[in-house]
Amino acid sequence: MSEARLVATDVHVKIGDTPILHGASMSVHAGELLAVVGPNGAGKSTLSRAVSGLQAMEQGDVRWGGTPLGELKGRKIARLRAFVPQRAPVPAGVTVREAVELGRSPHIKAFQRPTRHDHDAVDQAMERTNTYEFADRRLTTLSGGELQRVQIAVGLAQEAPVLIADEPTSHLDLGATAIVARLLRRLADDGLSVILVVHDLALAAAIADTVVVMAAGKTAATGKPAEVLTPERLSDVWRVDAELDDAGALRVNWLGR
Amino acid sequence: MVVTATVALLAAATASMILGAVHVPFSDIWQSLTGQAEEGPLRQIVVELRLPRTVSAIVVGAALGVAGALLQGALANPLASPDVIGVTGGAGFGAMLTLLVWPSAIALLPVGALVFGVTAAGIVFLIGWSGAHAGAIGRVILAGIAITALFSAATTSLMVAYSDRVQSAIFWIAGGLSSDGWSSLSVVWPYFSVGFVMAIFLARPLDRLALGDDVAASLGGRPRLVRLAAAAAAALLASSAAAIAGLLGFLGLVIPHLVRLAGGTASHRFVIPASALTGAALLVAADTLARVVLAPIELPVGPLMVVLGVPLFLWLLREAV
């Protein structure tokens, strides 16, 4: 496999006095879709924010293309990774195109005008996410699924080699979830590295190349979905009697009988 | 929108120079301003009274418009105005302290308003940008409400203690410009300048902030620093405005809304300059009207502006999609 674009080792994070992460690790390569799964409060989102530089670390080693995260500030880190948050505010009076254009900020200096290439990157980001057709609509008029694709388009306009999406599907219906899932898979197939923080294990198993299981602030396992999401681990980490069947569906014994 | 606001501002400024207790023909104004006029009362009225008053109205109107745009952007809250970061409460206290306790030192009124306005905002920032959720919107707004309450209570106490002098303070509370030449503006112009320059640099960072702190950080920005800088610039502008023209809070709240509704976009690269133009135009127009309607009696500008602005604002609100 190619050299890793991101390597995070032994990440520790405290928020206030509460330790959230104590020993989490992950790495991602070109064209790889990495799903980070785990129960609520396991530290999935915190890990994705810490490696992105959005959350201060207490200790740990995070390197982007070999360069320590601490040396990457502002525009530098913004050109290496795009972070798509779980739930972003929806400002009034902003169109889809205006929002996606903001994704170009890491490439445009203060008081500079966007170049031809900036406009092309914005168009391309909207085309890849199928948001071009409503480019001139206001964000406030979009559905949840459309908004989520716009958020991804903002990240794509950054033209960073790694896209980190924090639970992009958690508020979406089945159809909208499938659209986002296919989109992320396609982006990885095109060579992007995608880190997807996700609750839905069946979804993770279906689209991810690699799964990182987080439990109680630590990485419990990393590997291919079928190797990692075993009935034993589902029982250990999630406390449920469940298994992934050969078709990739998650079979859960809901009532525990 | 920008063209309309510019034309309105020019028209209002011209009217402001011509109209008043004494009518000055346009040709005399032109000659006075270009230095061709002979010494005389008309030239004196233009250069020493009308010009500084018009310039003050332009600067104060622009400052309040920009302060409102900065705060509404920084706090992602359409209800934000200089009130919410304590500026109004602080400036009001500073002015009352001068007017009621040391009426002989009335020349210090702009200094008092400016110093206490900035101090109140400073305390709000100290509280708002400390602790685990430093710089979070809710924390800043709550700190602002608490500090405003504190300064308002202090102001009320002063008014009770010196109730015999309150009469002299009412005009300041109502808000309005005076014909004291360049003296106030000469004290506070550096603070206006710093505030306006900061606003120019903050337009793009505030656009990123509109998509949320996480997106702003993803794009390489520092959302909490941007919010602090925008609030600080707004505090400087609003305190300086209060130092010259008293409490005209309505402008700061309404102008950015008016601009967004009329302009059809919320981009700060449009909203900030357009708020400056519109705020200036509205204040100059209102000040001119206030001088003319019952001349030689001057009406207080604050209430008059509200009377003018509210119908316009409500009409736009109805038209908005």
pLDDT digits (tens, 9 = 90+) for B255-291: 998 898 888 888 999 999 999 999 999 899 988 888 8
Average pLDDT in chain A: 93
Please tell me the distance in Å from B209's CA to the nearest CA on chain A.
10
Candidate from A15, A49, A102 with C-beta closest to B208 = A102
Q: Reply yes or no on whether the pLDDT at B80 is more than 90.
A: no
What's residue A247's pLDDT? 82
- More confident site: B48 or B72: B72
Residue of B nearest to A152 (CA): B215
When pLDDT is cut at 50, 70 and 90, the band that residue B19 belongs to is: confident
**Contact assignment for B220 to A74 by CB distance below 8 Å:** yes
- Residues of B within 8 A of A156 (CB-CB) are none
Phi-psi region of A54 (alpha: psi -120 to 50; beta: other; left: phi over 0): alpha
Would you call A38 an interface residue with chain B, using a CB distance cutoff of 8 Å?
Answer: no
Within chain B, where are the H helices?
2-18, 26-33, 41-44, 51-74, 87-96, 109-128, 137-161, 166-174, 183-210, 213-218, 223-245, 249-263, 268-292, 301-319
DSSP, residue by residue, B143-163: HHHHHHHHHHHHHHHHHHHTG
Q: Reply yes or no on whether the pLDDT at A1 is more than 60.
A: no
Phi-psi region of A72 (alpha: psi -120 to 50; beta: other; left: phi over 0): beta
Chain A segment 81-110 residues within 8 A of B by beta carbon are 81-85, 88-89, 91-95, 98-99, 102-103, 105-106, 110
Yes or no: say if B206 and A77 are a contact pair by the CB < 8 Å rule.
Answer: no
**Contact assignment for B219 to A94 by CB distance below 8 Å:** no
What's residue B40's pLDDT? 79
Please tell me whether residues A73 and A194 are part of one structural domain. yes
Closest CA to A199 of A177, A182, A183: A177
**What superfamily does domain B2-306 belong to in CATH?**
ABC transporter involved in vitamin B12 uptake, BtuC (1.10.3470.10)
Dist CA B298 CA B292 (whole Å): 7
ipTM: 0.91
Chain A segment 112-151 residues within 8 A of B by beta carbon are 151
AA identity, residue B138: G
When pLDDT is cut at 50, 70 and 90, the band that residue B136 belongs to is: confident
Q: What is the CATH number of the domain that holds A205?
A: 3.40.50.300
- Indicate the DSSP class of residue A257: -
Q: Reply yes or no on whether the pLDDT at B246 is more than 90.
A: no
Please tell me whether residues A116 and A138 are part of one structural domain. yes
Please tell me whether residues A90 and A153 are part of one structural domain. yes
The tokens of A62 are what? 């995070």
What's residue B163's pLDDT? 87
Please tell me the distance in Å from B214's CA to the nearest CA on chain A.
6
Q: Are strands A33-37 and A210-215 parallel, antiparallel or unpaired?
A: parallel
Dist CA A75 CA B233 (whole Å): 24
Would you call B55 an interface residue with chain A, using a CB distance cutoff of 8 Å?
Answer: no
In a domain, A13, yes or no: yes
In a domain, A177, yes or no: no
Q: How many interface pairs between A and B have CB atoms less than 8 angstroms apart?
A: 80
Q: Reply yes or no on whether the pLDDT at A191 is more than 80.
A: yes
- Residues of B within 8 A of A113 (CB-CB) are none
Residue-wise pLDDT tens digits, A153-186: 999 999 999 999 999 998 899 999 999 999 999 9
Owning domain of residue A219: 1-80+162-169+185-230
- More confident site: A34 or B188: A34
Please tell me whether residues A135 and A205 are part of one structural domain. no
Per the structure, the count of domains in chain A is 2
Dist CA B74 CA B225 (whole Å): 10
C-alpha pair distances (Å), A115 with each of A76, A109, A119, A125: 19, 11, 7, 16
Average pLDDT in chain B: 86
